[in-house]
Amino acid sequence: MTTVTPAAPRVGVPKRRGAISQSVRDSLTVAKRNLIRMLRIPEMVIFGLIQPIMFVVLFSYVFGGSINVGGSTSSAAYREFLMAGIFAQTVTFATAGAGAGIADDMHRGLIDRFRSLPMARGAVLTGRTLADLVQTALTLVVLAVVAFLVGWRSHENLGKVLAGFALLLLLGYAFSWIGALIGLSVRTPEAATSGGLIWLFPLTFISNAFVPSDNMPTFLRHIAEWNPFSATVQAARELFGNLPPNYKAPDAWPMQHPVWASLIWSVLIIVAFRTLAVRKYRSATA
């Protein structure tokens, strides 16, 4: 007679974490690592604050009173017109830092160490861009205080003001993915810094950030009106209540509906450049 041996109970197999939850967890871990690094190197934050503060002071007092805004050449009118442009320029210029940081991680082999760990592939880039977003938010807070001290005021309720800053941060986050792609495409952090800035200057100056686009040559005016940077600047001015008196928006759709245009542009940039950056990351570390 044979004896039937009962089957051994199955040892519980841990449930595999969902891909989304793992990606979120890994992204936050990488973001925490980058934030700790920023705290240990405070000069990174300090130097990042100096440039936008200089822009606020110089533009306010050098150009204030010499540029006609809504029929007025007063310094106060120009400061209110200017600040949304300075805020937007600050969040987009963070692109260079994002690209340089990722290029530095690639250069020092840190990305290869991350690749050897069982973590989501896109988490390294997402974590880095989230950490840059936190630093950008801190910069905006300091910049808003400086702007208040030089005479900038908002004329809308707190909800609209916060919505304006949210659109600015969304644009900054979108541009950080452009920086991530640049950082993965070059060999050195210095090249990433140059590559991150060289295209930003024409983007920010061929816009409505510092002067009204009305007096630009026709072809430049069309570029400025459809510039994603201009859409966010216009939306911020509208939400801050900083549009010039008797202002009439240009006929271009982004200037007529700047909040929607800003949202659409930022989301499209995030989707497109995150896809390209993650693909580049995978091919660069394959």
pLDDT in tens, 66-87: 677 766 667 777 888 889 999 9
Q: Where are the alpha helices (DSSP H) in 67-217?
A: 75-107, 110-115, 123-149, 158-185, 189-197, 200-205
**Can you give the pLDDT at residue 273?**
94
43 alpha carbon, distance to own chain's centre: 20
Q: How many domains does the chain have?
A: 1
Residues 87, 48: Cα–Cα separation, whole Å: 13
**Can you give the pLDDT at residue 3?**
52
Q: Within a domain: residue 193?
A: yes
Task: Please state the pTM of the whole predicted model.
Answer: 0.85
Q: Which long-range contacts (CB under 8 A, 24 or more apart) does 280-286 make?
A: 280/181, 280/184, 280/185, 281/111, 281/121, 281/122, 281/124, 281/125, 281/184, 282/121, 284/106, 284/111, 284/184, 285/111, 285/112, 285/115
**Can you give the pLDDT at residue 65?**
63
Q: Within a domain: residue 9?
A: no
Mean pLDDT computed over 35-41? 79
Q: Within a domain: residue 17?
A: no
**Can you give the pLDDT at residue 8?**
45
Q: Within a domain: residue 12?
A: no
Q: Within a domain: residue 62?
A: yes
Coil, strand or helix at 69: strand
Q: Within a domain: residue 251?
A: yes
Element (H, E) at 217: none
pLDDT at 4 over 70: no
Positive or negative CA dihedral for 87, 137, 164, 177? positive
**Can you give the pLDDT at residue 159?**
94
Range of the domain at 59: 24-284
Coil, strand or helix at 127: helix
Q: Are 179 and 276 within 8 A, CB to CB?
A: no
Q: Within a domain: residue 273?
A: yes
Residues 81, 230: Cα–Cα separation, whole Å: 13
**Can you give the pLDDT at residue 239?**
95
When pLDDT is cut at 50, 70 and 90, the band that residue 285 belongs to is: low
In the DSSP assignment, the letter for residue 268 is H
Largest CA distance in the chain: 107
Q: Within a domain: residue 39?
A: yes
